[in-house]
A and B are shown apart, each in its own frame.
Chain A
């Protein structure tokens, strides 16, 4: 028994101190036939604990941040400075009555939240969180991420359709249309990284962004013109995929009440909420892995003292903060604006970005490739922007009855 405790603590210490293969010493203590299951559980358990905890924290931080943006204080009653608000909210949702509408399709209504949360948790399994912390090192990890991510659309549709409520159905169809549209720029912007690194395996993509020998700056993809553009496109598309403001039309509380999860209450509603936030975290994690160097520090020197996973979570926190900031700033877009942005602006830009990364790959001279891909991308951005939004269209507002220039 003492052996077990000692090796278990040793495993935790190895994980925290960023040492290779933390499970190596603990697993031999387990009987042969349970070894692989134990290994899987040991990999999954931290994910199942850390990310829901992060979700709980994010809900509070988001509400406080939004409050500050609107010159309010935000929640500050439960616990120190309001940081236990999530516990109050969680208890509330857990103890609420679970209402299923009589007309609803009972089975599909029940399965929909599960069909959202399970794939979202699965997407975490391929993300490299630290130097030695990859739950599942798949050869085609990126493909796995997108394939499993595509399955969440199904759950949204199930929820909206099974509720037998016109608002739910409208919300679900909006959500599905939005997710299908924004999946294309999302995948195309991720494809640039695949073109540059030549692999679909996420740990290998992270390795490709490590600083070379003697270099003082890491080779994050975001430091290249195509990487910067790809990252911007990726963030916008991920925001839309996660149904967050300004792309939160599927929820649209002022028009279609709450969209596809209108008819859910209690724990099932909490599951939807959880799934939505976890989807955002997963998308942020993928963005970090693809463009922000994964768990690498910006300056290789810093990696010596600060463990790798700390960098990953610091970047994750920064991206979540950015999303909260954007949510506090931008108003919700209209449906036609949403579709125009995806199909007329982001899709062509993503295609041009593929061309830019090809140029980057084939031009030998660093200066030439910087110049070529920057000019190409900037030209495409300005040109598309001009074409879609002629600057002269919006003039000064003219009032019919009020006298001119009177305030």
Chain B
């Protein structure tokens, strides 16, 4: 990890904390966008150009916008007045912190992590990724298309306004 990725990581963690802890839901969503953009930058630093750009396109351009629309449609635009943490928040936060501690310790203790390739093997090019998507993984791609279509149709059906109950015959 060089200086740039360390700064980006700190940024990502800070915005992630903001995204879960802020009072105002729109601020949370904007912080989440910060997380997405920071992660995309980290992907770019890791030479994953395609994935990083798809991350921005899908997460910031689509998921984030959906989120803010949902927040505004559920009247979450203002600050939440009711208690915004659940009653058992201490247990949840404790559990999460404990898990974090365990995981970080485990990662740092492990010395059998695979060593990075030193020979400078060729990274997959964009054309290779495209070929892979269209040839070997084509069934997965089609399944993904089906899933996305189903999700889009399902989302539209779910969010469609319910037809007003039919009026009883006016006597």
**Chain A–chain B contact at Cβ < 8 A:** yes
Which residues does A use to contact B, with CB under 8 Å? 105, 108, 138-140, 143-144, 146-148, 150-151, 153-154, 157-158, 161, 169, 173, 176, 180, 183, 198-200
Q: Given A143-B57, A148-B56, are A154 and B33 also a contact pair (CB < 8 Å)?
A: yes
A140 to B21, CA, bound (A): 36
CB distance from A363 to the nearest CB of B (A): 20
Interface size on B, residues (CB 8 A): 23
A148 to B57, CA, bound (A): 7
Chain B neighbourhood of A138, CB < 8 A: 49
Chain B neighbourhood of A169, CB < 8 A: 72
Which residues does B use to contact A, with CB under 8 Å? 26-27, 30, 33, 37, 49-50, 53-54, 56-57, 60-62, 64-65, 68-69, 72, 77, 125-127
Chain A neighbourhood of B69, CB < 8 A: 173, 176
Chain B neighbourhood of A139, CB < 8 A: 49, 125-126
A108 to B26, CA, bound (A): 10
Q: Given A138-B49, A140-B126, A161-B26, are A147 and B61 also a contact pair (CB < 8 Å)?
A: yes
CB distance from B59 to the nearest CB of A (A): 10
Q: Are B56 and A151 neighbours in the complex by a CB distance under 8 Å? A: yes
Sampled A-B contacts (12; CB under 8 Å): A105-B27, A139-B49, A143-B50, A143-B53, A144-B53, A147-B61, A148-B56, A150-B57, A154-B30, A173-B69, A176-B69, A180-B62
CB distance from B147 to the nearest CB of A (A): 18
A157 to B62, CA, bound (A): 13
Q: In the complex, which residue of chain A has the Cβ closest to the Cβ of B71?
A: A161
Q: Given A139-B49, A157-B65, A183-B61, are A150 and B56 also a contact pair (CB < 8 Å)?
A: yes
CB distance from A171 to the nearest CB of B (A): 14
Chain B neighbourhood of A157, CB < 8 A: 65, 68
Q: In the complex, which residue of chain A has the Cβ closest to the Cβ of B50?
A: A140
Q: Are B126 and A154 neighbours in the complex by a CB distance under 8 Å? A: no
Q: Given A158-B30, A161-B26, are A153 and B61 also a contact pair (CB < 8 Å)?
A: yes
A343 to B50, CA, bound (A): 28
A169 to B26, CA, bound (A): 13
A140 to B129, CA, bound (A): 12
Among all A-B residue pairs, the 4 with the closest Cβ atoms: A150-B61, A147-B56, A147-B57, A147-B53
CB distance from B75 to the nearest CB of A (A): 13
Q: Are A180 and B65 neighbours in the complex by a CB distance under 8 Å? A: yes
Chain A neighbourhood of B26, CB < 8 A: 108, 161
A180 to B54, CA, bound (A): 16
CB distance from B99 to the nearest CB of A (A): 31
Chain A neighbourhood of B62, CB < 8 A: 150, 180
CB distance from A149 to the nearest CB of B (A): 8
A148 to B61, CA, bound (A): 9
A105 to B26, CA, bound (A): 11
Chain B neighbourhood of A147, CB < 8 A: 53-54, 56-57, 60-61
A169 to B75, CA, bound (A): 13
Chain B neighbourhood of A143, CB < 8 A: 50, 53-54, 57
Chain A neighbourhood of B126, CB < 8 A: 139-140, 200
CB distance from A118 to the nearest CB of B (A): 11
A150 to B126, CA, bound (A): 21
CB distance from A272 to the nearest CB of B (A): 18
Apart from A140-B53, A147-B60, A150-B56, list 12 A-B contacts with CB within 8 A.
Answer: A139-B125, A140-B49, A143-B53, A144-B53, A146-B57, A147-B56, A147-B57, A150-B60, A153-B65, A154-B65, A157-B68, A161-B68
